[in-house]
């Protein structure tokens, strides 16, 4: 059994924790955020597929 409980959210929604992470990253200065964003996008896409 998985240790990560599944939510009832639809496939196009992201978990609240991920939304919080996105909001925090939005506050990072632009040059650093530009480097992080592609990686975060891949993580979010992977999370949606689960």
Q: Considering the domain boundaries, does residue 3 fall inside one?
A: no
Q: Considering the domain boundaries, does residue 7 fall inside one?
A: no
Q: Considering the domain boundaries, does residue 30 fall inside one?
A: yes
List per-block mean pLDDT (blocks of 10 residues) for the chain, which spans 50 residues.
48 74 88 88 80
- What is the residue-wise DSSP string for 10-50? -TT---HHHHHHHHHHHTS-HHHHHHHHHHHHHHHHHHHH-
* pLDDT at residue 12, rounded to an integer: 59
The domain in which residue 42 lies consists of 16-49
Q: Considering the domain boundaries, does residue 40 fall inside one?
A: yes
Q: Considering the domain boundaries, does residue 22 fall inside one?
A: yes
Q: Considering the domain boundaries, does residue 24 fall inside one?
A: yes
- pTM over 0.75, yes/no: no
Phi-psi region of 2 (alpha: psi -120 to 50; beta: other; left: phi over 0): beta
* pLDDT at residue 27, rounded to an integer: 92
Q: Considering the domain boundaries, does residue 5 fall inside one?
A: no
Of the candidates 8, 6, 21, the one whose C-alpha atom is nearest the C-alpha of residue 41 is 21
Q: Give the count of domains, the chain.
A: 1
Q: Considering the domain boundaries, does residue 6 fall inside one?
A: no
* pLDDT at residue 2, rounded to an integer: 43
């Amino acid at each position: 059994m998985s240790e990560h409980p599944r939510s009832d959210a639809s496939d196009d929604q992201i978990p609240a924790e991920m939304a919080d992470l996105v909001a925090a990253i939005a506050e990072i200065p632009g040059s650093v955020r530009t480097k992080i964003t592609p990686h975060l996008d891949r993580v979010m896409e992977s999370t949606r597929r689960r």
